[in-house]
Structure 1
Amino acid sequence: MLTPVVDDDGVPFWEYTARRELRVQACAGPDCGELRFPPRPCCPRCHSFDSEWRRMTGRGRIWSYVIPHPPLLPDYAALAPYNVIVVELVEAPRIRLVGNLVSGPDAPLNSVAGERIRIGARVQVTFGDDGGDGPRLPRWMLERP
């Protein structure tokens, strides 16, 4: 399993994933509220340095996907072929998160056959149980398997 690289701006994102919450940074500047990802210190719209973290429903749609052959990451060689999807969030269509489409919260990365993946399919975030209390990579399940 990959361990996320956490920078100062992204610390809250990973703290929330450890609690199985999907939150996105939002500008807290006056009259703005712009949602942004990846997290950064300054709002690209109004240039405010004030921010907050808003809880998302975790619902989205598959915007794009790839099935790596051969695996791009050696740690995943035994799971190949596996999928990597880009999810556009319902509440924030300009925000796209990368993850894997899985058949259940604790299912392996290769648990959904590639031919079942469709651009536009509706998905819901899941965080699985890796046995630890640290950051969890968001993964996605089809809303209608």
Structure 2
Amino acid sequence: MNESLLSPVLDDDGAPFWQYAARGELRVQSCADCDELRFPPRPCCPHCHSFASEWRRMSGRGRIWSYVVPHPPLLPAYAELAGYNAIVVELADAPRIRLVGNLVSGPDEPLNSVPPERIRIGARVQAVFTEVNGMTVPRWVLERA
């Protein structure tokens, strides 16, 4: 894996997300009082203002809500991966939650492993996990019909 690719920035509120990802689990923070899901993680529920939270496991399924193929790559480390994508995924079990990631052909495949012409709004995807610079990150693969 290219060591100069971007890595997630850890903070206290989001650290559990990355800990679960390291175990191959996609989890979203939820309020322990009103049960509302929230992403990105934060200390206080925007609905009921409770500071009590828990992490709910998601199925990892979703659909492509939006995407972009940057031309030219904005960062030099990504130039050799030109043709890569950035997608926004709406989670199947939490439609108000959307995560940003990359569509790849398999967990350890490069960011440019899916041709841009294969990407479609509404396509069903499944989370997979891969290591980038010592951290496990979720990526997405097309669901098999």
TM-score category, normalised to shorter length: over 0.9
Structure 1 unaligned residues grouped into runs of 5+ = none
Give yes or no for the alignment of 1:13 onto 2:17.
yes
Q: 1:2: how far off? A: 2.1
SS of 2:113's partner is: coil
Aligned to 1:2: 6
RMSD: 1.4
1:36 to 38, 41, 48: 38
**Percentage identity across paired residues of the two chains:** 76
TM-score (normalised: structure 2): 0.92
Note if contact 2:126-2:141 (Cα within 8 Å) is conserved in structure 1. Answer: yes
1:140 partner SS:
strand
Larger strand fraction of residues: 2
Alpha-carbon spacing, 1:129–1:3, altered in 2? closer, same or farther (3 Å): closer
TM-score, with normalisation over the residues of structure 1?
0.92
The runs of at least 4 consecutive aligned structure 1 residues that moved more than 6 Å come to none
Corresponding residue of 1:81: 83
In 2, distance between residues paired with 1:49 and 1:129? Answer: 31
Query: What is the CA–CA distance in structure 1 between the aligned matches of 2:51 and 2:100, rounded to whole Å?
Result: 26
- How many matched pairs? 141
Trace 1:1-145 onto structure 2 (pairs within 5 A). 1-29=5-33, 32-129=34-131, 134-144=134-144
Secondary structure (helix, strand or coil) at the match of 2:54 reads strand
Secondary structure of the residue aligned to 1:52 is strand
